[in-house]
Structures are given as structure tokens and as C-alpha cells.
Amino acid sequence: MTDKPIISCRDLSKIYTMGEQEVRALDGVDLDIAEGEFVAIMGPSGSGKSSLMNLIGALDRPTKGEMWINGKALSEMSRDDLADLRNETLGFVFQQFNLLARQDAFQNVRLPLRYARKDAGDIDARAKECLELVGLGSRMDHRPMQLSGGQQQRVAIARALANRPRILLADEPTGALDTKTTAEIMHLMQDLNRQGITVVLITHETEVAAYASRQIHFRDGRIESDSAHPDLKRPSGG
């Protein structure tokens, strides 16, 4: 592990206002994740896990606080800069796979390569390589409808890997999968982590979290516990 964090959050807050009501989805979170870590984020429903993930993923902007990816402050980046960051540095895996239904596996994996500003090299070769990496080399021309849930999630992972991201973000990637498939996906994640990709994963299941090298528990928009800092007591509740 290197010392310099690849993801860094300071006093990060996300507040949703719905009419009179204020929901503090994230409430002053400080968090550092070093390059090469495999972090599982856990916590009850509504504790702010997805909110954090969306901020780290440069999909959303915080209400308060600052965050850095790779040393760069996201608040200083334009919409296009953020799009490029998502394209080059981050890879997303969603619970609902989010594949384009009208395109086959191969085309789905090619998509981030086609949006790349940098020279992505041989796009077709790279897409093929990624699909082979997730064990779907023989299913390239299958549409999402023609694939099982586990296979669809593999396609989604292949897509996330296409531009060789340094960070893989997965929000409940196994939430829609059975136990056996879950284990397969988690092994894949572990392999990717061993190859140097930083993985941040949200899960409700302790078996899934066990694959990670670090577990962080959330409650009411705050970090309740962090296995990397077991001694650090954080106030809980408000």
C-alpha cells in the first residue's frame, strides 16, 4: 500500500431537501482510501452508502466538504473533466447491471472505449480481451436478454475495466445474484484487486464483505467503524 490516498474525503456532506424536510444522507465524512485497497462499505439501508459512492464516482456533487481523486479536487473540475475522470480513472458496476439492452455484450464493452478522449488503441481487441478476462469470450454476440444475471454482471465488469481504470466502484454488485454466482463475481473482484485496481464495494452481506481487506460501517450518514482504524472511536447518532 502506498501512503498517498487515491480517494480522499474531508467533512463530506450530502443533504437532500424535500420541501421542509432535510435528509442528511452524509454527515461530515472523513475518509482516505489508499491505492490497491479492497474496501467493503456496509451499513443499514438509508445510512448513506450509495450517496458516498455516487460522490466518489463523480456522478454527484457534495453539499459540503471536499474530495480528491488521485490528488485532484473534484470541486475544481468541470462537467467535462468529471466525464473524462469517470471514463479514464473510474469503473462502475451497478446492482442492476445497467447494460444497453439493444446492444450485445461486445458492443456494451466497447462503449466506454468509444467515449475515450485518449487514444484507446484497438478498441475491438481491448473489448474482446476484457470479455475474455471475465470468462465471456464465447458470449460476445449475446444480448443482455440472452445472458444470465451473473453473466450480465460479468459483462458490466468487463465494461468497467475497458479503459483500465485505477478504481472500481461497485454498488451492491451481487445484490441480484445467487450465492454461487456471488462467489464467482467476488473472486473476480479479488483477482482484479490483486492486479492493482482499488476496489470499493457496497454490500449488505458479511460473506461478501469478507473478500475485502477493509470494512467500513456506516450509520446515519457517518462512519460507525472502520477496520483500518479499530481504535478510532467515532460519535454515533446525533
Partner 1 sequence: MKFGVATSSAAEALFSNPMRSLLTMLGIIIGVASVMVMMSIGEGAKAQIEAQISSIGSNVLTLQPGNMNRGGRNHGGGSGRPFAEADVTAMGELPFVQGVTGILSQQANAVSEEANWVSNIQGANASFFEVNNWRVAEGREFTTQEVQGGAAVAVLGKTSAANLFPDGRAIGQRIRVNSVPMEVIGILESKGQSGGGGMGMDRDDTIVAPLGMVRNRITGGNRQVSRHVSRIQMLVQDGYDVLEAQEETTALMRERRRIQPGEQDNFAVVNFADMIKQRAAAAETMSMLLAFTAAVSLIVGGVGVMNIMLVSVTERTREIGLRMAIGARGGDILLQFLFEAIALCTLGGLIGMGMGWIGVFAYAQIANAPMMVSPVIIATALGAAASVGLIFGFFPARRAAQLDPIQALRHD
Among Mg ion, ligand ATP, partner 1, none, residue 25 binds (CB under 5-8 Å by kind): ligand ATP
Binding mask 2-21 for ligand ATP (x = CB under 6 A): --------------x-x---
Chain-centroid distance, C-alpha 72:
18
Residue closer to partner 1, measured from CB, 122 or 178: 122
CB 134 within 8 A of CB 158: yes
- Residue 189: exposure state from Cβ atoms within 10 A (0-12, 13-18, ≥19): buried
Nearer to partner 1, 97 or 218 (CB): 97
Instruction: Write down the least CB distance from residue 115 to partner 1, Å.
Output: 4
Site string for Mg ion, 39-68 (x = CB under 5 A): -----------x------------------
The packing angle between helices 149-161 and 105-115, to 10°, is 20
What's the Cα-to-Cα distance from 53 to each of 59, 107, 213, rounded to whole Å? 9, 26, 18
Report the C-alpha gap between 175 and 155 in whole angstroms.
Answer: 16
Question: What is the β-pairing status of strands 214-219 and 38-42?
Answer: parallel
The binder of 144, among ligand ATP, Mg ion, partner 1, none, by C-beta within 5 to 8 A per type, is none
Q: Measured from the CB of residue 107, what is the shortest distance to ligand ATP in angstroms?
A: 29
CB closer to ligand ATP out of 11 and 129: 11
Nearest to residue 6, comparing CAs of 39, 28, 38, 32?
32
Residue 83's binding partner out of partner 1, Mg ion, ligand ATP, none, with CB under 5 to 8 Å set by partner kind: partner 1
180 interacts with, out of Mg ion, ligand ATP, partner 1, none, CB within 5 to 8 A per kind: none
- Select from 15, 34, 77, 116 the one that contacts partner 1 (CB under 8 A): 116
Site string for partner 1, 70-99 (x = CB under 8 A): ---------xx--xx-xxx---x-x---x-
Sheet holding 5-18, edge to edge: 21-34, 5-18, 64-69, 72-73
Q: Say if residues 105 and 154 touch (Cβ distance below 8 Å).
A: no
- The single residue among 9, 29, 48, 223 that binds ligand ATP, judged by CB under 6 A, is 48
Is 59 a binding residue for partner 1 by CB under 8 A? The answer is: yes
Maximal CA-CA distance, the chain: 54
